[in-house]
Amino acid sequence: MTPSLITFYALAGLLVISSLLVVFQRNVVHSAMALVAALCLIAIFFLTLHAPMVGVLQVLIYAGAIMVLFLFVIMFLNPAALEQRRVTWWSLGTIAALLLAGAFVAVMNGSEPTPDPIASTELFGSPEMLAKSLFTDFVLPFEIASVLLLVAIVGAVVLAKREH
Amino acid sequence: MIVDVAIVAAKSVLVLVMVLNLAGMLGWVERKASALIQDRIGANRASILGFAGLGLINTMVADPVKFLTKEDFIPPQGDRFLHTLAPCMALFPALVTFAVIPFGDVLVLGDRVINLQIANLNVGILYVFAMASFGVYGIVIGAWASNNKFSLLGGVRGSAQMISYEVAMGLSVVGVLMVYGTLELQEIARGQGALIGEVLPQSLRFLKPAIGWLPAWGIFLQPLAFLLFFTAAIAETKRVPFDLPEGESELIAGYHVEYSGGKFLMFFAGEFAEIVTAAALTTTLFFGGWQVPYLMRDGFHFPWGTVWLLPQIAVVLMQVGAFALKVVFFCWLQILIRWSVPRFRYDQVMRLGWKMLLPLALVNVIITAIVIVAVQ
């Protein structure tokens, strides 16, 4: 067992536990906090894979912004009073989970265990590399994504303002 | 290998101890400063076992002891686990941010070069923002777990305010990043060691006699960004005039109304650690970080040609001392602001963040970009 392998299994174990907590917690706020923990663990995974930029963005965007809004909504709506568990959702969810697990097994069967990750170049995973590929090779998808976000924001403002 | 680990551990402990001590001292400074401003005497009655001789030290010891020995009350209808977790989440981000803040240049010991910064991440300032965005959880979770309507209102206000000002803060820094061309805080601090005369482009050389002697600090190259960043940073610390999440006259104590004892102490320490972090970031981005004007690695090089050579250890000590001095100054400035102005109304806070700071930050980015392209 190399140190990096030990780190991997420790992180992976914690990640599985926190992901299970997201699903099995009855309290929605507890679920949300478990999801925050899972997102942070994924960010640490990115750090061990020499991609600090992606890891930091993971924390900044998912844990720092999106989950805060989730919590916001959860606290306002108090969903415990809104919905009881229904059998149909359970069965649909189980089928979807089984399909996903089957896909994972199929993918993992065909792959070799990877050796310790090594950064291919000095700049690998750096903000410079990421920015360069975003603004050269992937500039069109990047711009489309930003226009899409802008449309969503404008739409939200219009919906919120309509009543006045 | 072991020596490397030991060096990083030593740096971490040193920084952590300094930040926590400074945060603790600020608690006392704030009481005395508010007394000074309001023409009172302030905290002066801490007597430990009948001995009240050392005013400052007595108060500094008595305060935490008082907090830690008080009853730790958890609201019976609240959430035990999250109520305990929240203060940790409030204190944690302010402390870990210091991992990327440089407090000196390099210390050369024999053949070992020690970078006076705990972790040199190539994402630098983005790490700071990631940790800052994490700070919201302490408030939101603490507010919700207390099962108190005043708390919840404070938490909602706090999260909305912190998210809003994070946007403005992030954009205000972009201009600085463009000028120095890097995200790494150590590189930004090094870039501020040059003189404006050295970085002036050819087309602006005629300005050299007038401003060429100034160091190329962020405050001179990005004055607007400094004002925006500092305002947003004060809003992020949730202190007057931005203390709506606490709002004692409306929400009693807002998000931490149900906290007592050691957990309240953690919220309290978190707030002061945030002040220190904000001061350190302002220093690093706009006031040269650890730079002393005209001090190079081998001594002073004054613009009129005089050179004073100094031993390396003296240079390092002066740099660390200069950084500490600047940080203390900005902590003091924040306390001064906190006791000089009244609280905003909530709609004013939101308007300032979204309709003034954000557009101004965007304008600053655009102007900086135009100037950089034009003079190259």
Q: Mean pLDDT in runs of 10 for chain B (376 residues)?
A: 84 88 84 86 72 68 83 82 88 88 83 81 86 86 86 86 89 90 87 78 72 81 91 88 82 82 87 91 90 82 79 85 92 90 88 91 92 82
Give residue A150's pLDDT band: very low, low, confident or very high (50, 70, 90): very high
The ipTM (two decimal places) reads 0.79
Whole-angstrom Cα distance, residue A32 to residue A40? 13
The DSSP code for B51 is B
Residues belonging to chain A with any Cβ–Cβ distance to chain B shorter than 8 Å: 27, 29-30, 33, 36, 52-53, 56-57, 59-60, 63-65, 68, 71-72, 75-76, 126-127
pLDDT at B54: 66
- The per-residue pLDDT for A120 is 61
pLDDT tens figures, B285-321 = 999 888 888 888 777 878 777 788 888 888 888 888 9
- Which residues, including other chains, have CB under 8 Å from residue B353's CB and lie 6 or more apart? B161, B164, B165, B167, B168, B232, B235
Chain B residues within an 8 Å CB radius of A27: 79
Q: Which residue, among A35, A39, A60, A157, would best test binding to B if mutated, counting the most B CBs under 10 Å from its CB?
A: A60
User: Cβ contact (<8 Å) for B137 and A29?
Assistant: no
pLDDT of residue A163: 67
Rounded to the nearest integer, the mean pLDDT of chain A is 82
- Give residues with Cβ within 8 angstroms of B166, minimum separation 6: A64, B129, B132, B133, B232, B236
* pLDDT of A152 higher than 90: yes
Report the C-alpha gap between A81 and B248 in whole angstroms. Answer: 31
Least confident of A79-83, A102-106, B204-208, B326-330: A79-83
Q: CA B188 to CA B175: how far, in whole Å?
A: 12
Q: In this predicted structure, what is the pLDDT of residue B55?
A: 64
pLDDT of residue B371: 87
Contact residues on chain B for A65, CB-CB shorter than 8 A:
133, 163
Q: Which residues of A touch B130 (CB under 8 A)?
A: 56-57, 59-60, 64
CB contact under 8 A, A33 and B159: no
Taking an 8 Å cut-off on Cβ atoms, the answer to whether A71 and B159 are in contact is yes
A29 contacts B144? CB cut-off 8 A: yes
Is A48:A2 a contact under the CB 8 Å cutoff? Answer: no
Of A36, A56, A72, the CB nearest to B159: A72
Residues in chain B closer than 8 A to A53 (CB atoms): 122-123, 126
Q: How far apart are CA B150 and CA A128, in angstroms?
A: 46
Contact B123 A63 (CB under 8 A): no
3-state secondary structure of B52: coil
Give the A:B interface size as CB pairs under 8 Å.
72
Distance from CA of A129 to the nearest CA of B (A): 11
* Confidence band for A115, pLDDT divided at 50, 70 and 90: low
CA B103 vs CA B7, B117, B120, B181, B284: distances in Å: 15, 6, 12, 20, 9
Give the whole-angstrom CA distance, residue B101 versus residue B54.
33
H-type helices in B181-236, by residue range? 185-191, 196-199, 208-211, 218-221, 223-236
Do residue A30 and residue B82 have CB atoms under 8 angstroms apart? yes
Q: For position B300, what pLDDT does the model report?
A: 80
| Nearest CA-CA distance, residue A138 and chain B, Å | 21
pLDDT recorded at residue A87: 62
Identify the contact set of chain B against chain A, taking CB-CB distances under 8 A: 79, 81-82, 85, 121-123, 126-127, 129-134, 136-137, 140-141, 144, 152, 155-156, 159-160, 163, 166, 183
Please report, rounded to a whole number, the percentage of residues in chain B having pLDDT higher than 70: 97
For B106-141, the pLDDT digits (tens) are 888 777 878 888 888 788 888 898 888 888 888 888
pLDDT at site A118: 61
Q: Which residues of A touch B134 (CB under 8 A)?
A: 59, 63-64
Tell whether the model's pLDDT for residue A114 goes beyond 70: no
Contact yes or no for A33 and B129 at CB 8 A: no
- Looking at the partner chain, which of A29, A30, A60 has a beta carbon nearest the beta carbon of B133? A60
Here the tokens at position A121 are 């170049």
State what percent of residues in chain A have pLDDT above 90. 19
Between B105 and A90, the more confident residue is: B105
